Amino acid sequence: MEFFSKGIIYNFMKYARVFIATTLILAFISLVLVFTKGFNYGVDFVGGTVVQLKYEQSAPIDKIRDDLAKDKLFAGALITEFGSPEEIVIRFSTVSDSVAQDIGDHIRTLLKDTGAFDIRKVDIVGPKIGSELRSKGIMSAILAMIGILIYVAVRFEWKFAIASVITLLHDITITLGAIILFDIEFSLDVLAAVLTLIGYSLNDTIIIFDRIREELEETKNTNFSEIIDICVSKTLSRTTITSLLVFFVVLTLYVFGGEIIHGFSFTMLLGVIIGTYSSIFISAPFLTLIGFNVEKYKANIAIKEKNRIEKNKMRSQYEKGTV
């Protein structure tokens, strides 16, 4: 079986402006969402308590709500079905700070008339832990990006480094926007998903850049748009296959993984689409936007090559004792 087997070069660059404009609009909308609506942070990040119950029969949500309302600790508690009618989740912002106190016991007493249930999970996160996690998460993401920037700058060229980090920022921004749009609760799993798709998207971009670097070394063509078209087209079947595989794996995770990893798998599904789109349509075209100059790049390579040859010559002369 073969996709894209005819060796056709697709003219991506012709529409580069359209793609970049679309992307900028999407990124802008995402930023607006991030700063206006904001994330629906889970207890992992803001603190609070989540209790997950599983009833032997359908959970009587109204009765649960009434019974919990008897205690003001549960004022404003959110009670929602979780995956199936038997399972419910109770969320509230209060955090008991004593180690010895048990919220599970308390709930068991309050809800004793609602039927037989099993407490599946109790998460209590203090506000201090939550905010620490948030700041450490952001900090490590920024440092990771600086690390990537340095690596790509050293192995490729600084404009490639900028383009790859911009692509990364683009993916993160739009994914975050989509998370808000689809009202996914921002939990640790979702953070893990965002980190994972950053990995995928970065890999996609690097592979296309690697192809461009290779092409630049081999071809006499100085038309950068054409080079990009050739490279993106040549890597297209690899990009498609890998993305499809990842997409289907994540889809099985979404379908069979159950409610527990829905946040993770749904974010991954979104991210794979966004990441694939950006590596094909955004990353390389963006290089032209920041003024990547083929002739200059080639001149640099030539200088480096010349230096290398000269060094070798010097060394061999030195070793022969002629200097």
Q: Which residues does 273 contact at the CB level (< 8 Å), separation at least 6? A: 247
Q: Which residues does 15 contact at the CB level (< 8 Å), separation at least 6? A: 281
Toward other proteins, which CB reaches closer, 27 or 125? Answer: 125
Residue 264 interacting with other proteins (CB under 8 A): yes
Residue 216 interacting with other proteins (CB under 8 A): no
**Binding window for other proteins (CB under 8 A); candidates: 15-23, 170-178, 237-245, 283-291:** 237-245
Enumerate the β-bridge partners of residue 20: none
Q: CA 253 to CA 55: how far, in whole Å?
A: 25
Task: Pick the binder of other proteins from 188, 273, 294, 301 (CB under 8 A).
Answer: 188
Minimum Å gap between C-beta 152 and other proteins is 7
What number of residues does the chain have?
A: 323
Residue 252 interacting with other proteins (CB under 8 A): yes
Residues 214 and 230: beta-carbon distance below 8 Å: no
Residue 139 interacting with other proteins (CB under 8 A): yes
Task: Pick the binder of other proteins from 5, 35, 116, 319 (CB under 8 A).
Answer: 5
Site track for other proteins across 65-94, x = CB under 8 A: ------------------------------
Strand locations in the chain (E): 48-55, 78-82, 84-92, 117-125
Residues 42 and 308: beta-carbon distance below 8 Å: no
Residue 102 interacting with other proteins (CB under 8 A): yes
Residues 195-214 that bind other proteins (CB under 8 A): 195-196, 198-200, 202-203, 206-207, 209-211, 213-214
Residues 266-285 that bind other proteins (CB under 8 A): none
Taking the CA atoms of 302, 305, 311 and 315 in sequence, report the sign of the dihedral they define.
negative
Residues 97 and 69: beta-carbon distance below 8 Å: no
Residues 258 and 183: beta-carbon distance below 8 Å: no
3-state secondary structure of 183: coil
Residue 318 interacting with other proteins (CB under 8 A): no
Residue 321 interacting with other proteins (CB under 8 A): no
Residue 99 interacting with other proteins (CB under 8 A): yes
Residue 110 interacting with other proteins (CB under 8 A): no
Residues 31-60 that bind other proteins (CB under 8 A): 52, 54
Q: CA 263 to CA 239: how far, in whole Å?
A: 25
Minimum Å gap between C-beta 257 and other proteins is 4
Residue 112 interacting with other proteins (CB under 8 A): no
Minimum Å gap between C-beta 116 and other proteins is 13
**With CB under 8 A, what is the number of residues at the site for other proteins?**
81
Q: Which of 158, 152, 150, 151 minimizes the C-alpha distance to 296? A: 158
Residue 253 interacting with other proteins (CB under 8 A): yes
Task: Pick the binder of other proteins from 189, 269, 270, 288 (CB under 8 A).
Answer: 189
Q: Which of 153, 170, 163 minimizes the C-alpha distance to 228? A: 163
Task: Pick the binder of other proteins from 137, 219, 273, 301 (CB under 8 A).
Answer: 137
